[in-house]
Amino acid sequence: MSQFLIDSMQDARRRTLTLIEGLDATQLMGPKLPIVNPLRWEIGHAAYFYEYWILRQHLGLQAVNDSVDRLYDSISIAHDERWDLPLPSLQDTLAYMQTVHERVQHHVQQDGPDPKRDYLLEYAIYHEDMHTEAYTYTRQTLAYPTPAIGAVPDELLQGRLQGDAHIPGGAFMLGAMPQHGFVFDNEKWAHAREVQAFAIARAAVSNAEYAAFVDAGGYRDMAYWDEAGQTWLRESGLACPRYWRRAGDGWQMRRFDRWEPLPLDAAVIHVCWHEARAYCRWAGRRLPSELEWEVAAAAEPDGWGGLSQSKRRYPWGDAQPAPHLANLDGSALGTIAVGALQEGDSAFGCRQMIGNVWEWTEDTFGPYPGFTPDMYQDYSQPLFGHTRVLRGGAWSTRGRMIRNTWRTYYGPERNDVFAGFRTCAL
């Protein structure tokens, strides 16, 4: 376990360095926007997370330097203040990161067994993984050059998957079990729920399907948008997804700093919850509930027309994610065809429920029964009640951290993140 954690920490750091490579000083700060952080601050904050929780709170060591709390504590430093801090240079920031990592690695290798230290280290690694996904969508938001983390495989850009999976009703344990190992506080703990039989699309909505909605006037016809959606649409000024434009020969999409033909079979991405709901109304469909999504991803049939008591860690079973099962880890540099990767299907035949795109659900993010916050109390609690739940991970998500019970959350207006959706029959 200790070597796995050290390897994972080093891998997370390599991804961080790759995602800031080639950016100049101006790009590393970027414009002050509510949906991104200055990258030079953000990479220091990720290193600070390791230092604060492992070295200082757990091991009782002194801070690497006296200024880190004033620079990198995301709880006490308001978002808009982060551009105005006396941040160290990039060279000094990377030196701080290196010092922290070396100290953590030393204690893992030299000290005796320490389950709490290892728990905190796993937490910090996944925290950095979440930030590297944020660095990736920041590069997309700001039209920075394409990062050198992968390439779009042509053979995975074609392939459609039609139809619904019909899921029986029954009892289901929603959430994570204690024996599942590391999980976040908002996944705790599994609790019995009853689900009614439902039909859910076997695949996420593709670019071609979403383009049909746009071409049919979906952004002009207010019948498809509720009041909050209409307000968002007016304020956004959009007439199509955020990174689309019409060209002489059809739709194009911007991938980082380059415009290219829209890959029609690939999953639609960078659409917000309001856009997903408007598409559903146009298509005569609906978004799945969070419960329905997890049932479709994790449950198994019992052989008598109901749900068994078994539950899968991943849609395909308990094997760790791999490229033939899920589009993760940034290797494809974007979404692939919704019909690709058949081996990753769930027990009910739903495809790509892990990877490719985060999938919006209908539900507002909230606590499970008996919720208590973990040591990082601001991870979940401040977002309860006003964000929406997304499931499954995206092409940029690290495979080591994702699973069927993972819940993430964004405001319904966020179309900068790597989000798409699948639909259910009414």
pLDDT tens for residues 112-144? 899 999 999 999 999 999 999 999 999 999 999
Of 116, 141, 166, the position where a domain reaches its end is: 141
Q: Is residue 247 situated within a structural domain?
A: no
Indicate the length of the chain as a whole number. Answer: 426
Whether residues 73 and 186 fall in one domain: no
Sign of CA dihedral 214, 219, 222, 224: positive
How many other CB atoms are found less than 10 A from the CB of residue 244?
A: 22
Q: Which amino acid is at 385?
A: G
Pairing of strands 198-201, 191-195: unpaired
Answer whether residue 254 is part of any domain: no
Give the CATH number, domain containing residue 33.
Answer: 1.20.120.450
Q: What is the DSSP letter of 245?
A: E
Q: What is the mean pLDDT of residues 71-78?
A: 95
Question: Does residue 234 sit within a domain?
Answer: no
Asked if 374 and 412 sit in the same domain, the reply is yes
pLDDT higher than 90, residue 1: no
Distant-in-sequence contacts of 216-222, Cβ < 8 A, 24+ apart:
216/282, 218/278, 218/279, 218/282, 219/278, 221/282
Q: DSSP code of 249?
A: T
Query: Does residue 271 belong to any structural domain of this protein?
Result: no
Q: What is the mean pLDDT of residues 4-24?
A: 97
Q: Answer whether residue 123 is part of any domain.
A: yes
* Last residue within a domain, chosen from 141, 169, 189: 141
pTM, rounded to two decimals: 0.97
> Into how many domains does the chain fold?
2
Query: Does residue 66 lie within any of the structural domains?
Result: yes
Residues 65 and 196 in one domain: no
Same domain, 64 and 116: yes
229 in a structural domain? no
> Are residues 109 and 162 part of one domain?
no
Indicate whether 268 belongs to any domain: no
> CB–CB of 364/388 below 8 Å?
yes
Report strand pairing: 424-425 vs 388-391: unpaired
Verify that 133 and 159 share a domain, yes or no. no
159 and 10 share one domain: no
Q: What pLDDT shows up at residue 180?
A: 86
Average pLDDT, the chain: 97
pLDDT digits (tens, 9 = 90+) for 402-421: 999 999 999 999 999 999 99
Tokens of 203: 């695949």
What's the Cα-to-Cα distance from 23 to each of 18, 148, 279, rounded to whole Å?
10, 12, 37
Rounded to an integer, the average pLDDT of 61-83 is 96
Do residues 89 and 184 share a domain? no
Residues 172 and 289 in one domain: yes
String of DSSP letters for 94-126? HHHHHHHHHHHHHHHHHS---HHHHHHHHHHHH
Domain that holds residue 297: 154-205+284-425
Of the candidates 358, 316, 364, 342, which has an alpha carbon nearest to the alpha carbon of residue 205?
Answer: 358
Question: Do 289 and 366 reside in the same domain of the chain?
Answer: yes
* Statement to judge: residues 184 and 298 lie in one domain: yes
**pLDDT-derived band at 2, boundaries 50, 70, 90:** confident
